[in-house]
Amino acid sequence: MTALLSVEGLAVAYGHIEAVKGIDLAVDAGAITTLVGANGAGKSTTLLALSGLIPKSGGRVLFDGEDITGLPAHRIVQRGLVQVAEGRATLTTLTVRENLELGAYSRRDRVGREQDLERIFTMFPRLRERASGAAGNLSGGEQQMLAIGRALMARPRLLLLDEPSMGLAPLIVQDIFRTLAALNREGLSIFLVEQNVRQALRLASRGYVLETGRVVMTDDASALMVNPRVREAYLGG
């Protein structure tokens, strides 16, 4: 099977510090793939580089077989590689609806945008109820839903998420992960970066373990879940 996203030897440096040291990844179409790792492993750096938001110092990125290594961020979004903003970076003074509409800024198809908005409101009823309210008044979980909704408005073919569980209560995390599973069942491919290794491996079909900028393990998520080294380092033994 050819990967939807294929990453070869990706390297990213901040000044002379190499945060990502030449990693290979393959993200299959229709699947949920996860990249897990501890604090400072280089997970966010990897996503930002894939999205074209920070420069790469080496390597190649193929999306649907096409080389997107050097494309600017907005072109990468237009291709369908869309990242959910980290830390739920919603624009707090804008309304919920305005935040969602921003996700579709590069699209010209007004009817399609309206349909997608309706679909997102159906998926997240709380966002519909609060559509005209300021996004800043949403709870943490609702803001994460809004960030996902906004990314969906760009019609992603692959959704990239950076620790969507961060700072949320366990029940809300369950909600978010259920939403991701539902989106995946509808055919959306997902690349999920997480520090919450247990939940991420439970959701994903394949996993990569990142340690100080290197991929140290990759396997089916179910195999990683029972791998002694993974259990010892990330799952409390």
Ligand X SMILES: Nc1ncnc2c1ncn2[C@@H]1O[C@H](COP(=O)(O)OP(=O)(O)OP(=O)(O)O)[C@@H](O)[C@H]1O
Residues in contact with ligand X by CB under 6 A are 14, 17, 19, 37, 39-45, 195
**DSSP sequence for the chain:** --EEEEEEEEEEEETTEEEEEEEEEEEETTSEEEEEE-TTSSHHHHHHHHTTSS--SEEEEEETTEE-TT--HHHHHHHTEEEEPGGG---TTSBHHHHHHHTTTT---HHHHHHHHHHHHHH-HHHHHTTTSBGGGS-HHHHHHHHHHHHHTT--SEEEEE-TTTT--HHHHHHHHHHHHHHHHTT-EEEEEES-HHHHHHH-SEEEEEETTEEEEEEEHHHHHH-HHHHHHHS--
The residue (of 35 and 117) whose beta carbon lies closer to ligand X is 35
212 binds Mg ion (CB under 5 A): no
For ligand X, the closer of residues 153 and 209 by Cβ is 209
Which one of ligand X, Mg ion, none is in contact with 195 (Cβ closer than 5 to 8 A by kind)?
Answer: ligand X
- Closest approach, Cβ 9 to ligand X, in A, equals 17
CB of 88 to Mg ion, least distance (A): 13
Q: How far is the CB of 93 from Mg ion (least distance, A)?
A: 26
- Residue of minimal Cβ distance to Mg ion: 44
- Please say which residue, 96 or 210, places its beta carbon nearer to ligand X: 210
Interface size with Mg ion, residues (CB under 5 A): 2
44 near Mg ion (CB under 5 A): yes
Query: Site residues (CB under 5 A) for Mg ion?
Result: 43-44
